[in-house]
Structure 1
Amino acid sequence: MSIVTQQTYSNYINGTWESSAGDTKASINPARPDEVVGYYTLSSADTLNKAVEAGMAAKDAWRKMAEPARGNILFKAADFLEGRLEEIAETMTREMGKTFPEAKGETMRGVQLLRYYAGEGMRKNGDVIPSTDQEALMFTTRTPLGVVGVITPWNFPVAIPIWKIAPALVYGNAVVFKPAQEAVITAAKVMECLAEAGFPEGVINFVTGTGSVIGQGLAEHPHVHGITFTGSEQVGRGIGQTALSRGAKYQLEMGGKNPVIVTEDADLDLAVNATISGGLKSTGQKCTATSRVIVQSTVYDSFKEKLLEKVKDIKVGDGMKEDSWMGPCASESQFQTVSSYIEKGKEEGAELLCGGETVPEEKGYYITPAVFDRVSPDMTIAREEIFGPVLALMKVETVEEAIELANDTEYGLSASIFTTSIQHFLSFLDDIEAGLVRINAESAGVELQAPFGGMKNSSSHSREQGEAAKEFFTSIKTVFVK
């Protein structure tokens, strides 16, 4: 199968795919940097204004459409996405590197998200509240924000856009969607499925370009009433501050330095497999990826031996090859970033047990999965988000010490523990500072019907997915009828 395209994608504004205006840029296959996946437009602020104004013109009629009717369009979008599942998954693999099976799983997740939120069109949007006045009726209803800016990252170019766009739309907002440049061709194909579903003109708009022009422009635009962003902490903070300064609602999902605790009573084989899956799948390029592995001293050596045996067998290669378990870093810049962290770990005294090497027989941005031993809490690789296939092993004596070490970070996105002790589980559940807590399961991943978000510097303390999405994309109206 080969569906490589070199099509040029421009913007979708007010129900029309525009011809490319201005400079274009190539999107490169990180497995083979000499291969162009497609081209996209570096749009201007004027183009962004046009998209926002299209949303402004469409939002009132869309808000007044019956919610089940809005949901029906999302159902159609899900069908179109499912019909192109393998094509879009292959584009994802070629554009940002994750293996084809992972890309197919993510694309199917997008289909499921669309269908879940399509069903929201038939669910309640308010509550009746008892009034102290026996002759009155008091209830709540919800109203959409208006025009919402959606800014998404490259690591999940199907799932993350859809888990933002789908609830924004079904709850009655117009959307302006700005995808990450590293995965813009994949995002454009998702946008084609949404466009084909039949949304009214201006309800969903798609603008490609740089973060400094389009992303910042969305944050600053006076007619954008809400911003939902997933990406780096530095960029997220700037977007949040800009939105706050003009009174717009904002939602930020940012970094993680996610710990896994392995207690002396844990099933070590289960813990090893989950650490590898949570830390190294998608080349470690997940905000929920396992980064710090905190192990009790009594089982430390046994765990390390089992971990190294399996990590050394991981096949790194082109994600379209059936025998590849882990693909390349998503871009040259990400490759350089991960490489610099590996060198920093060695410079600061951590012991590199395996990996952290390039793959000479491959031309792409490959790094073999790295495992560090003798990592202390003050080292850079123990504190900063690497966003790559790097595991830092840390030894502790007690579970209490493990939890304290797990919390010793500015982030609080996800955390997991492997234990067969109810007491350890309850202590972890009560004391861990993370928005996603998993027991005897990898740190990465959350079911689509459950709230997702972090604590501390991992988020703006809002939640995405499930029914929690309604809290961001709508405002409550309290109604008193006498």
Structure 2
Amino acid sequence: MNAPFDYAHPFLTGDVKKLFIGGEWVDASSGETFDCIDPSRGLAAIKVSRGGPEDIDRAVAAARAAFEGEWSKWTPFDRQALMLKAAEAIDRRFEDLARLETIDMGAPLARTGLFRRWIQQTFRYYASQAMNTRGDIFSNSVPGNFMAYSHKAPVGVVGAIIPWNGPMITQLWSICPTLATGCTLVLKPAEEAPLSTLMMAEILHEAGVPAGVINVVPGPGPTAGAALAGHMDVNKINFTGSTVTGRKIIEASASNMKRVAVELGGKSPDIVFADADLDAAATGAAMACFTNTGQVCFAGTRLFVERSIYDDFVERVAEVGRKLKVGPALSEESQLGPLASQAQLDRVTSYFQVAREDGARLVTGGEPLDIGGGFFVPPTVYAGVTNDMRIAREEIFGPVLAAIPFDTEEEALALANDTIYGLGGGVWSRDVGRVHRVAHAIRTGMVWTNCYGVTDPAVTFIGTRQSGYGVKGGPYAVDEFLAAKTVWMNLA
């Protein structure tokens, strides 16, 4: 039966949510639509126009026209003022936006409600960066009667392809630097969760973002996404998703040698030493994996525990998982919601069988939950895992934790680094020297010590190895949306 919650939402009116191109709501060229499924019930929330290559062409043309038109005349001060106005507009409608994200992709209100401050931080940080772009003068570095200087200008039309596991946040990594630098954007959200991105476009347009600066085209990755990645008139691609798809994005970008930033998969290590604050570490390690029902790119899904505390600590982590309330995303009591789709439920539960076949020992969870027809699984912990098991090597993207014992610091590092990925990692210890040694030795783009998963838009967010390349967050991210030009002057 359906959960007894009010699923009415002001954005879920009408028969179909359309594409947003050139400041207007338009149908897909094909006329096709798809059902946007509420994962808490397994039922359609609304139909959405299914964008395809022709729609990508329309959106890129609108973005190019805006980039070369009036938008190019906006000063950094004007863009900053617009971003601050947009931040206020989003804040006024935040509850609607958060509730829509909850219905759309299943993150519980307890999670989406926390994003208010983060969204404001992101818009206001990048608004500050709009006034902080500068080049360099090389007058003392060049010969004779010459001077040279560098000038930074917006790179042009940006294409962004974002995943379904948190679009309300991930879209901002592209929207905010686009507005700050004077670029324009074509944004393709995942079919599983396009609604908060469409609503964001509506809010920004009403706040005064000119037509064509932000365009949103939901559609399938193999058609709409591929068309955007390979488009000859797109100057930069931002992609967040799987490593397999990321390789295809990089290959497609060769069409015109466009810039690419890709944030890809992860199988992040979380290392707990016996001298850690074990109460804090148990909660931290559990939530490093279980947050957002495990649908986090940098989730700490490989838990390495010093052998002398292994059995006790794994049970502590499992107990944290058992106490988490899993339920319909609109319930204020729910701490974890459903997985985002039936396909993701099938994928995650398939690994329960894989774990059994490989000989891992189930500590808690390991079976789907029957809650109102939705796509629910409990926090799941496996012990007796070795680093060569599939649950320790492959990204599951669900609340499945693989606990692996170690004896020495050197062994922990060897195991932690034995992966193709390099996005996140964690270290828990009271020994400051050890914390520094291990943090520096883990081959990942980000490491948390005695905490896990803290982020801020003013701080660099980056991966390495097959977790991707390119920067999100911090001032370096702004540079990725700017193109440097050198100017030589003859002073004779």
| Counterpart amino acid of residue 480 in structure 1 | W
- Displaced runs of 4 or more, over 3 A: 1-4, 132-138
- Select between 372-381 and 132-141 the one with higher mean Cα deviation: 132-141
Change (3 A) 1:184 1:107: farther
- Select between 106-115 and 48-57 the one with higher mean Cα deviation: 106-115
Please tell me whether residue 454 in structure 1 is matched to residue 459 in structure 2: no
Partner of 2:281: 271
Please tell me whether residue 366 in structure 1 is matched to residue 380 in structure 2: no
**Size of the alignment, in residue pairs?**
479
Please tell me whether residue 436 in structure 1 is matched to residue 437 in structure 2: no
CA shift for structure 1 position 165? 1.6
Partner of 1:174: 184
CA shift for structure 1 position 19? 4.5
1 CA distance for matches of 2:451 and 2:230?
40
Give deviations 1:168-225, integer Å, cap 9, x for gaps: 2221211111111111112111111111121222222111211112110011111111
Work out whether residues 136 and 480 of structure 1, in 8 Å CA contact, stay in contact via their aligned partners in 2. Answer: yes
1 CA distance for matches of 2:133 and 2:57?
34
Please tell me whether residue 469 in structure 1 is matched to residue 477 in structure 2: yes
| Counterpart amino acid of residue 217 in structure 2 | V
- Select between 346-355 and 61-70 the one with higher mean Cα deviation: 61-70
Change (3 A) 1:15 1:154: same
CA shift for structure 1 position 254? 0.4
CA shift for structure 1 position 427? 1.5
1 CA distance for matches of 2:103 and 2:24?
27
CA shift for structure 1 position 37? 2.0
Partner of 1:257: 267
Partner of 1:392: 402
Please tell me whether residue 244 in structure 1 is matched to residue 254 in structure 2: yes
CA shift for structure 1 position 125? 2.2
CA shift for structure 1 position 360? 2.9
2 CA distance for matches of 1:296 and 1:54?
56
- Residue 480 (structure 1) aligned to one of 471, 478, 488: 488
- Select between 81-90 and 102-111 the one with higher mean Cα deviation: 102-111
Give deviations 1:130-167, integer Å, cap 9, x for gaps: 33457554332211111111111111111111111210
2 CA distance for matches of 1:358 and 1:6?
32
Please tell me whether residue 233 in structure 1 is matched to residue 238 in structure 2: no
Partner of 1:42: 50
Work out whether residues 354 and 369 of structure 1, in 8 Å CA contact, stay in contact via their aligned partners in 2. Answer: yes
- Residue 82 (structure 1) aligned to one of 75, 91, 103: 91
Change (3 A) 1:282 1:336: same
Partner of 1:217: 227
Partner of 2:162: 152
Please tell me whether residue 54 in structure 1 is matched to residue 57 in structure 2: no
| Counterpart amino acid of residue 395 in structure 1 | P
2 CA distance for matches of 1:469 and 1:217?
24
2 CA distance for matches of 1:218 and 1:349?
43
Give deviations 1:311-360, integer Å, cap 9, x for gaps: 22221101221221111111100000000112101111001111022223
- Select between 419-428 and 409-418 the one with higher mean Cα deviation: 419-428
5+ long unaligned stretches in structure 1: none
Equivalent residue of 1:414, what SS? coil
Change (3 A) 1:209 1:421: same
Equivalent residue of 1:413, what SS? coil
Please tell me whether residue 184 in structure 1 is matched to residue 222 in structure 2: no
Alignment of 1:32-431 (within 5 A): 32-34=41-43, 36-61=44-69, 62-129=71-138, 130-133=140-143, 136-431=146-441
2 CA distance for matches of 1:126 and 1:59?
21
Work out whether residues 22 and 211 of structure 2, in 8 Å CA contact, stay in contact via their aligned partners in 1. Answer: yes
Give deviations 1:352-397, integer Å, cap 9, x for gaps: 1110222234321111111000101110000000100001000000
Equivalent residue of 2:113, what SS? helix
| Counterpart amino acid of residue 325 in structure 1 | Q
Work out whether residues 275 and 429 of structure 2, in 8 Å CA contact, stay in contact via their aligned partners in 1. Answer: yes
Change (3 A) 1:371 1:324: same
Give deviations 1:19-42, integer Å, cap 9, x for gaps: 4650111111111113x3222101
RMSD: 1.6
CA shift for structure 1 position 473? 1.0
- Residue 32 (structure 2) aligned to one of 23, 43, 49: 23
Q: What's the TM-score once normalised by structure 2's chain length?
A: 0.94
| Counterpart amino acid of residue 409 in structure 1 | T
1 CA distance for matches of 2:456 and 2:387?
31
2 CA distance for matches of 1:179 and 1:360?
29
5+ long unaligned stretches in structure 2: 1-5
CA shift for structure 1 position 110? 2.4
